[in-house]
Amino acid sequence: MTVSEIMEKMIKFSDGNIHDIDHLIRVWTYARTIGELEGLDSDTQFILEIAAITHDIACPLCREKFQNTNGKHQEEEGVLMVKAFLKDAGLDDGQIDRVAYLVGHHHTFSGIDGMDYQILVEADYIANASENGYSRANINNFMEKIMKTDSGKRLLAAVMGRALT
Ligand SMILES: [Fe+2]
């Protein structure tokens, strides 16, 4: 499947939950933009975009099962759910494993082991910072300690700049 076909599948899977759909679309847009600006190779860009689309796949289940979307539960459930979700999407085993790894680690900021992982974390943070109105201290800390890409930093500053002045 193409990125767009997987996007359609994920939107259908989200079953009318506009909050979840809006979030995944935003994270995908930031991830795609940062990935292209950073010059990722096409294989890594593809993995990044599929991970961005599916990263919060376990959110609805975790809200139901644990009454929250706590990071750890969501990561564990997400690995199993995204593997099932992508089973008929035509990806090879290596691609599915990498996407599942990223979904399973997107709240874990230690041990970032590739540009797909790095950019997914950055894109999700930018979306969450604007959705949840993160403080200047939180944003400065993330920008200094976690962010690595110049385009991610520029985007975060541009998105949050007005809110921070
Ligand atoms: Fe997210």
**pLDDT tens digit sequence for 105-135:** 999 999 999 999 999 999 999 999 999 999 9
Distance CA 76, CA 86 (A): 16
- What Å distances lie between residue 18 and 13, 76, 137, CA to CA? 12, 24, 30
Tell me the CA–centroid distance for residue 56 and ligand 1, in Å. Answer: 5
**What is the identity of the amino acid at 104?**
G
Are 97 and 80 within 8 A, CB to CB?
no
Average pLDDT for consecutive 10-residue bins of the chain (165 residues)? 98 95 98 98 98 93 73 85 97 98 94 97 96 93 96 95 69
Beta-strand ranges (E) seen in the chain are none
The pTM for the full model equals: 0.94
Tell me the CA–centroid distance for residue 26 and ligand 1, in Å. Answer: 9
Instruction: Measure CA of the first residue to CA of the last residue in the chain; give whole Å.
Output: 43
Tell me the CA–centroid distance for residue 54 and ligand 1, in Å. Answer: 9
Select from 67, 144, 152 the least CA-distant residue to 117: 152
Are 17 and 60 within 8 A, CB to CB?
yes
Distance CA 113, CA 20 (A): 27
Give the position of tokens 């975790």. Answer: 62
The length of the chain is 165
Tell me the CA–centroid distance for residue 126 and ligand 1, in Å. Answer: 10
Tell me the CA–centroid distance for residue 43 and ligand 1, in Å. Answer: 22
Distance CA 59, CA 84 (A): 15
In the prediction, which pLDDT does 165 show? 57
Tell me the CA–centroid distance for residue 124 and ligand 1, in Å. Answer: 5
Tell me the CA–centroid distance for residue 78 and ligand 1, in Å. Answer: 12
Are 150 and 158 within 8 A, CB to CB?
no
Tell me the CA–centroid distance for residue 33 and ligand 1, in Å. Answer: 16
Q: Dihedral through CA 110, CA 93, CA 88, CA 102, nearest 10? A: 10
Tell me the CA–centroid distance for residue 55 and ligand 1, in Å. Answer: 6
In the prediction, which pLDDT does 164 show? 66
